[in-house]
Structure 1
Amino acid sequence: MAKQKKQPRPKAQTPKGFRDYFGAEVTARAEMLIQIAEVYHRYGFDALETSAVETVEALGKFLPDVDRPNEGVFAWQEEDDGDWLALRYDMTAPLARVFAQHRNDLPTPYRRYTMGPVWRNEKPGPGRFRQFYQCDADTVGSGSVASDAEICAMLSDTLEAVGIERGDYIVRVNNRKVLNGVMEVAGVLDPSDPAKFEAERGIVLRAIDKLDRLGLDGVRALLGEGREDESGDFTKGAGLNADQAEVVIGFMEAKRATGAETVARLRELVQGSDMGIEGVAELEEIAALLDAQGYGPDRIELDPSVVRGLGYYTGPVYEAELTFEILDEKGRKRQFGSVAGGGRYDDLVKRFTGQTVPATGVSIGVDRLLAALDAKGRLEKAAQGPVVVTVMDRDRMADYQSMVAELRQAGIRAEVYLGNPKNFGNQLKYADRRGSPVAVIEGADEKANGKVQIKDLILGAQIAENATLEEWRERPSQFEVPRDQLVAKIHEILDEQGEANGQ
């Protein structure tokens, strides 16, 4: 009888393009989501939570950098009815489906915010993952550009609420109607036949959206025949001739010192295009509305280089860029870049209803925003661990559990050591590894005398590292207190630790 082949063990590794998040990271993200939600809620937006799975038909084909249906999403076909389902790649397509499905029960305009993970089946790279968190806010049912101005103002307030100081970011605003007007002037858009040159326009949009990464030369190559990247991969270009490409480049370079000057230059570029003139007028109105609310060019500015890569935008588009410098993995200075973006998408709900429903919204990349705060030194590297009650006698586990119950009821994070209690040193090593601020010790003698030992682990570590013997005696890090003073003494130590850390 042949010997049965032993099955290899599965590899303990994260799938490519995904990552795991641990305690402090999860806590920081949760706190940020609360801060963002508070701003959204203050602006009158209601929470909505949609399914992580949508039909491929409902999601549509709007992802950037993809040319085939279902590419860019994680999709599968149901066995029973043959329907294709997919993990959502953003929060906007599900909103369009929800509004179309429940429009008779929802107020119009409908203002909602949502937050959660999205999935994109794209090539992963440094800092580019296939699963990431987004936090969106959208207004559905208002065609007024006042709703676009409101989204921009809210985005500015949100960045400041989470800790991005004024001067470290800029919200940049443009209008896809202006760009469409430029493409009409350049001869790659025919208003009488919107489908004509559709593929070329898509490539132009994606090329302009990559200006910050590729520079003008890289964009110019994509507007023409195409571009080969450092890995040897070739990206097909839009096939524009030199004159056509220069019209688009002129649009990208239209930004001037003031918003009024930028608008004047854009109006020159779109002469002959009714759609372009309409877009310029909308930009003027947005700028006036923001100015009336006190949002000047130090926070929000007009910038023609903003186009957004997704294909469903129909009017104003906006992007939040962090302007401070960080060091990359090679020690080179670079700006952090975009952390949020959005725009108007008046045709998305129409796919379901057949009727145009105006909508506009913004999406914040939560993971990128957390990385930005970390780069600025505004995130705690490690969350404080729980108070650890050590186990001196395993037969007295009920006593130790009683202690942690008292601490938890007093609002103090606490746990009993549940490993092998034989080696007390290992218990303190465990507490250190957990980042515990305090350890509680009650042996047989302490129990008999109604006492408990409380060890300030933070102060103890500082003294052991820096202090002389005399200073050790002056600043004890371990205290013996009556058992009924356990909670009060730990509160006192935690308060002192918080003051020492500037909290």
Structure 2
Amino acid sequence: MSKKNKPFRPKARRPRGFEDKPAEMLRAERALIDAAFGVYDSRGFEPLQTPAFEYADALGKFLPDEDRPNAGVFAMQDDDEQWMALRYDLTAPMARYVAENYDGIAKPYRRYQAGSVYRNEKPGPGRFREFVQCDADSVGAPGAAADAEMIMIAADVMRAVGLKDSEYQIRINNRKLLDGILESSGVPNTDAGAVQRIQVLRAIDKLDRLGEQGVTDLLGEGREDESGDYTQGAKLSPDAIKAVLGFSLAGQSSRTETLSRLEKVVGSSSHGRAGVAELAEIDRLLTACGYGPDQCAFDTSIVRGLGYYTGPVFEAELLADIRDRKGRLVRIGSIGGGGRYNGLVSRFRGQEVPATGFSFGVSRFLTALERMGHTKGEVIAPVLICAFDKELMPDYFAMAEELRNAGIRAEVFIGAGNVTKQFKYADRRECPVAVLMGSDEKVSGTVTLKDLKLGLEMAKTIESNEEWRESRPAQQEVPRVQMVAAVKAIIDA
């Protein structure tokens, strides 16, 4: 066949920045999400699911980068010429849902959700363009009490997945404090200064990774990273850069000391004074509920990168030493966070609709938990019912059903292949037990059980096929009626 007539075969490949998830990863993700859902549900929150696509104008100026339909998000034009975009988080779609159903839902509206979100950004190690988020939000709750509850929820999720209080910390700030600093530095709190403000927020957000000099560059003219990519700076004046950095480093060891210092930093700024008052109320509620400064601390370097936050903000950070497979220390940093965003629902309705929430990235959190040894135990592979005789298929399926009714995972081999191929399949699946029954066993009312894991261990000490056939290691014949109990005994052992 000539090359011209050769049929086209696409190359099997994943798009960059997207990942396949095998069974072990999916099960671990589900366990993590279930733990968080248990926390949310216990506090009276209700589940919600929104679609992956939203109209781009519903996401609006809160897109990750600039106010363009295709900047930072994956967008497409529908047949009615309206721009749609894959959601970049779960909060903006939730705000649209609340606005669309505002008169029919109880306020505050308290919801939780988990699902994939999408960022049209440069992929890299540990940085994906599709990842799973898990959120909880309260809409219609105006006071600092709602923010304090979200901070408590973040701490409770850390505990629910098995972390000790010494292994995490919720770090809290208030965007109103920074608003006051920026106003006094000549950056207007208006649409005209929106891009510059987001550049400032993102610069501060990188303080722990880039250090003071790197953030100073991003607050000024800009910075070139190790790969040669250049990030445009916020172009603040030297005095403004000094003020912003001074504020970002104002945190103290206790919440009370930080509040005292912040009162001096914000001076006469009305935004700044309001921010300090909200943090003081949060401190009062956290203290009353037993969440001490080691668990929940004030940290003025926490600003959160997205532009829609309007008040208290916080991040959940892991404190334990985490090492990679080569034993090197790895800094995971923030695995989630949230805060107050009073503008999202208000965009749709033209009236003040206060809201606050908490969100974490499932994959990032899970990676950290695995390295800390906090993931759930492994799932046992299914028992395999080998299929020797097509006429006995009803019996095979009945045996599998009996095992499943006893809480044991089981499957009948329905592929093509003789017994050798079936055993190879069982080995690849890491099945603990294989159940064998042919026509002779059917007549005698027995089944043969092969302990595959024990057989694998014993095989290491057997030197010849003859010895293998004579010893028949890890194999037993039991009455058919005792099959379930015998299989359970092997698995339990």
- Which range, TM-score by smaller chain? over 0.9
The reply on whether 1:495 has 2:484 as its aligned counterpart is no
1:460 aligns with 2:468: no
Give the aligned partner of residue 313 of structure 2. 317
Q: 1:329 to 1:379 in 2, by over 3 A?
A: closer
1:119 alignment counterpart: 118
Q: Name 2:48's counterpart in structure 1.
A: 48
2:243 to 208, 227, 247: 247
C-alpha displacement at 1:308, in angstroms?
A: 0.3
Do structure 1's residue 298 and structure 2's residue 277 form an aligned pair?
no
- Do the aligned partners of residues 451 and 286 (structure 1) sit closer, same or farther apart at CA in structure 2, a change above 3 Å counting? same
| Counterpart residue number, 1:91 | 90
- Inter-partner Cα distance in structure 2 for 1:6 and 1:442: 47
Q: Does 1:482 align with 2:461?
A: no
Cα distance in 2 for residues equivalent to 1:323 and 1:87:
33
- Do the aligned residues in 2 keep the contact of 1:108 with 1:140 (CA within 8 Å)? yes
User: Aligned residues, how many?
Assistant: 487
Counterpart position of 1:8: 8
Q: Deviations over 1:32-75 (max 9, x none)?
A: 22221111000110111111111001111223344644311111
- What is the Cα deviation at residue 252 of structure 1? 1.1
For 1:264 and 1:170, how far apart are their aligned partners in 2?
21
Distance 1:476 1:218 in 2: 64
Find the counterpart in structure 2 of residue 32 from structure 1: 32
Q: Deviations over 1:360-413 (max 9, x none)?
A: 001111111111111123336853211001123344333222221222233321
- What corresponds to 2:400 in structure 1? 404
Task: Write the deviation string for residues 181-234 of structure 1: whole angstroms up to 9, x where unpaired.
Answer: 121233323x6xx23433322211110011122111110110111100111111
Percentage of pairs with the same residue: 52
- Which stretch shifts more, 431-440 or 332-341? 332-341
Cα deviations across residues 280-313 of structure 1 (Å, max 9, x unaligned)? 1111110110010001112111110100011010
CA distance in structure 2 between the partners assigned to 1:425 and 1:381 by the alignment: 31
Structure-1 residue corresponding to 2:426:
431
C-alpha deviation, 1:476, in angstroms: 6.7
> In the superposition, relative to structure 1, how do residues 303 and 428 fare at CA in structure 2: closer, same or farther (>3 Å)?
same
Q: In 1, Cα distance between the equivalents of 2:338 and 2:329?
A: 27
**Distance of aligned partners of 1:86 and 1:68 in 2 relative to their CA distance in 1, 3 Å threshold:** closer
The question of whether the paired residues in 1 share the 8 Å contact of 2:169 and 2:295 is answered with yes
Give the superposition deviation at 1:327: 3.2
CA gap 1:466/1:124 in 2 versus in 1, 3 angstroms: farther
**Greater CA deviation, 431-440 or 413-422?**
413-422
SS in 1 for 2:264: helix
CA contact (8 A) 2:29 2:366 kept: yes
The equivalent residue for 1:257 is 253
| Residues 185, 270 of structure 1: 8 Å contact kept | no
The answer (yes or no) to whether the contact 1:440–1:454 under 8 Å persists in 2 is yes
What is the rounded CA distance, in whole Å, between the counterparts of 2:482 and 2:324 in structure 1? 51
Q: TM-score, normalised by structure 1?
A: 0.91
Q: 1:421 to 1:9 in 2, by over 3 A?
A: closer
Q: CA RMSD in A?
A: 2.4
Kindly state the Cα deviation for residue 238 of structure 1 after the two structures are TM-superposed.
1.1
Once residues 88 and 328 of structure 1 are traced to their aligned partners in structure 2, the CA distance between those partners, rounded to angstroms, is 32
Equivalent in the alignment of 1:152: 151
Contact 1:438 1:456 in 2 (8 A): yes
**1: CA distance between counterparts of 2:379 and 2:66?**
40
Partner of 1:499: none
Going from structure 1 to structure 2, the CA distance change for 1:260 and 1:475 (only over 3 Å counts) comes to farther
The 3 A distance-change label for structure 1 pair 317 and 24 is same
Contact 2:332 2:368 in 1 (8 A): yes
CA shift in 2, pair 1:83/1:69, >3 Å:
closer
- Relative distance call for 1:391 and 1:232 in structure 2 (3 A) is same
Q: How does 1:80-229 map to 2 (within 5 A)?
A: 81-189=80-188, 194-229=190-225
User: Do the aligned partners of residues 362 and 479 (structure 1) sit closer, same or farther apart at CA in structure 2, a change above 3 Å counting?
Assistant: same
Q: Deviations over 1:302-342 (max 9, x none)?
A: 11010001101000001101122223587641321111111
Partner in structure 1 of residue 266 of structure 2: 270
Using the size of structure 2 for normalisation, the TM-score is: 0.93
Contact kept in structure 2, 1:392 and 1:421, CA below 8 Å: no
Using the alignment, how far apart are the partners of 2:290 and 2:472 within structure 1?
Answer: 52
| Distance of aligned partners of 1:3 and 1:324 in 2 relative to their CA distance in 1, 3 Å threshold | closer
Matching of residue 390 in structure 1 with residue 386 in structure 2 = yes
The aligned counterpart of 2:345 is 349
Q: Counterpart amino acid of 2:443?
A: A
Q: Is the 8 A contact 1:227 1:237 kept in 2?
A: yes
Gaps of 5+ in 1: 497-503
User: Do residues 308 (structure 1) and 307 (structure 2) align?
Assistant: no
Between the aligned partners of 1:290 and 1:196, the Cα distance in structure 2 is 37
The 1:242–1:33 alpha-carbon spacing in structure 2 relative to 1, beyond 3 Å, is same
Partner Cα distance (1:72, 1:5) in 2: 41
| Structure 1 residues 330 and 200: CA distance shift in structure 2, 3 A | farther
Between 104-113 and 433-442, report the one with greater CA deviation.
433-442
- Give, in angstroms, the shift of residue 491 of structure 1: 2.0
